[in-house]
Chains A and B, each alone.
Chain A
Amino acid sequence: MKLRIKSAPHCNREELRTLLIDAADELAGGNSCLLEAKLPWDGHPILLADAEGHPVLVSFDLADSQAALVSGLHATDQLAVALPWVNQVYAPLQQRQKAPRLVVVSSEPPPGSEAVLRTGSGAGLTMFSCRVLSVNGDMGILLEPLDGAPAARAAVTTLAHATQPPVPEVTPPASRAAESVPSLSDEERAYFQQL
């Protein structure tokens, strides 16, 4: 079977939202689930829950990466404030009130993102560059993490043919922090949240 891949001429915001929801596992990790497809806040981000029960906000804007980042940060603030009732509303969060994570998706890295990721200030922040592609006439997206990890960690399309190769496993980059350290209890983690 021949694959004809080319850049998609146009993808509106709601089509992109659908594609990102389909790619939730790549954005928030395996076994994530959708809580809200369109939050009524700035930028109308997507709300997911990852396998560990963290709420994950996905803020996206292909044309304006700065807007995606800023509205995502704003929504993260709003979510942090609303966390007690958000935890009551969404069962997958298991009432554990874990800190929200922010995922920003845009075609280009937002200004200043390299410095934020390098200095570690964005511990709960993940960024992906996104390209909309047309594969054999179907629309799909290519997501690449912007954290220095090997490129093309996840390639996602809407194609659902049986011949489609599986999405590669996500492999975190090796780092000092990846050394085998014991896990922390919630109490320990909370203690080191602030000085």
Chain B
Amino acid sequence: MTSQLNPAWQRRAVSSDHLAKISARFLSDGPRPEQTTDGCQVIPFLLDHPDQHWIASELCEVLTQRGQRSLLCELQENSDGASLEDVEGALLRQEADKRFCLLPASSPATIQACRFDHVVLLVPASLDAALLAYQRIKLLSQQAAPDIGIVMVGPRDQHAAWRYFRKLAVGTLRFLDIPLLNLGFLPQEVMPEHNPADHHRQNYLTRISERLLRSEFYCRCRPGTTTQARLAR
């Protein structure tokens, strides 16, 4: 009897090393960084729109409260994003005693210019936003694809967050052969426009920060450089 899998779950192509690639992302004892930066580790965020800047900002505070001294790197982007020189300049202006540098960017061009090997996408919980995120991932995959983590923003509840994440993750795996990492979600009820001083927001941000740290989801190499492992993907 032939398999009757929903086409959505059928992979675009089978590759022998794919399972290993995915499973490695869920293991807490994964490979150590191959090439760390001298200073702080960069965590790039690709925002769906500039209003999401507060998420990176508050995550920065949460990480610092958890003993991981972090700073938010402010980047000036034009319509074509920011250049590698702009990003390097912004990073150099930061203090050297920080562990993490959170870098919110609005343009995929910025992520491409810097060849970041990890990037966190903030994706609003809607079908249109999932489609735009997919297109951005497709764009990023035209270079050596970075490891991509997803934070769903504004779903009604955990179930809705999971459904949107699953839609996006199955799509990227099926069509692009790219697995996504679920870094968590920020429900609608904790959005600043709904509740400016919601203390639950801190809890959700803490969970996201834990997942970032546990999965070592930060850049392993300097902006503009590429590891051999990444090139081999």
Residues of A within 8 A of B (CB): 120, 123, 174, 176-177, 179-182, 184-185, 187-188, 191-195
Contact = CB atoms under 8 A, between A and B. Distances in A.
Nearest to B135: A181
The SS class assigned to the A binding surface is loop
Contacts of B107: 179
B135 A182 contact: yes
Contacts of B171: 188, 191-192
Contacts, number: 44
The SS class assigned to the B binding surface is helix
B139 A182 contact: yes
B132 A177 contact: yes
Chain B residues touching A, range: 20 to 34
Contacts of B134: 188, 192
A117 to B, nearest CB: 14
Contact of A180 (B8, B128, B131, B139): B139
Given A176-B106, A181-B136, A187-B175, A192 B49 contact: no
Given A179-B108, A181-B139, A182-B142, A191 B175 contact: yes
B53 interface: no
Contacts of B175: 185, 187-188, 191
A188 B132 CA distance: 12
A181 B109 CA distance: 10
Given A176-B49, A195-B127, 8 more contacts: A181-B136, A182-B142, A188-B134, A192-B130, A192-B131, A194-B127, A195-B164, A195-B167
